[in-house]
Amino acid sequence: MNIAKNKRHPSIKINESINSREVRLIGGDGRNIGVVKTINAINQAKQENLDLVEISAGARPPVAQIMDYGKYQYEQKKLRKERFESSKRAEKKSETKITQIKANTSKDILQMRAKMSRKWMDQGYRVQIDLFLSGRYKNMDKDFLKEKIEFFISLVPQPFKIIEDIRQSPKGYSILIQANK
């Protein structure tokens, strides 16, 4: 039973730190007991060898529940951790990896980068393929350059869907693909 003041979360009041005259009490089994004097609620919690925890301070009268405060803290921590991990997984799936190729890149290097793109898509990433153009390559036939990107895409050994079609970018051409699941 936790009689001391709550030092970790000062906004959560427990036992004697609840300073209202009466509370709307929820029993240890979850049923609504009703409005009772705070001192009576604390005594009832002590009899059950549990704590009185104020769960809604904004209500009039405040809502308090009889529970094991240590177990409550553990469950809240576990819930925060699950939310953090799920948001982290969702964040990872929306990240984009970039593969950069040039107009004169050899077929062996293209195959190696296509395999790397497949690994990234297996991990849940989107893959942006950039055809980087410098110097005289900027003035080459646009259809030839688009064919170069399409050839690279044909080397990717996994089914995928095109998120953004081939488009001209400041440094050349780009396309965005994602695993087809």
Backbone φ and ψ of 109, nearest 5° = -65, -40
Cβ count near 94 (within 10 Å): 9
Domain locations along the chain: 1-90, 94-179
Interval 116-136: pLDDT, tens: 999 988 888 889 999 888 888
Per-residue pLDDT for 10 more than 60?
no
pLDDT in tens, 60-94: 888 888 888 888 888 888 988 888 887 766 665 56
Q: What is the mean pLDDT of the chain?
A: 83
pLDDT band for 111, please (50, 70, 90 cuts): very high
DSSP for 141-176, written as a single string: -HHHHHHHHHHHHHH--S-EEEEEEEEEETTEEEEE
CATH architecture of 94-179: 2-Layer Sandwich (3.30)
Q: What pLDDT band is residue 4 in, cutting at 50, 70 and 90?
A: very low
Q: Quick check: 45 pLDDT over 50?
A: yes
Rounded-to-integer distance, Cα 5 and Cα 166, Å: 62
pLDDT at 53: 87
List beta partners, residue 80.
none
Identify the band that residue 113 occupies on the pLDDT scale cut at 50, 70 and 90.
very high
**Looking at the domain that runs over 1-90, which CATH code has it been given?**
3.10.20.80
The mean pLDDT of 19-29, rounded to a whole number, is 86
> For position 90, what pLDDT does the model report?
61
In the DSSP assignment, the letter for residue 114 is H
Residue 158 corresponds to which tokens in the numbers above? 């996994």
β-pairing verdict for 126-132 and 96-102:
parallel
Residue 146: band (very low, low, confident or very high) from pLDDT cuts 50, 70, 90: confident
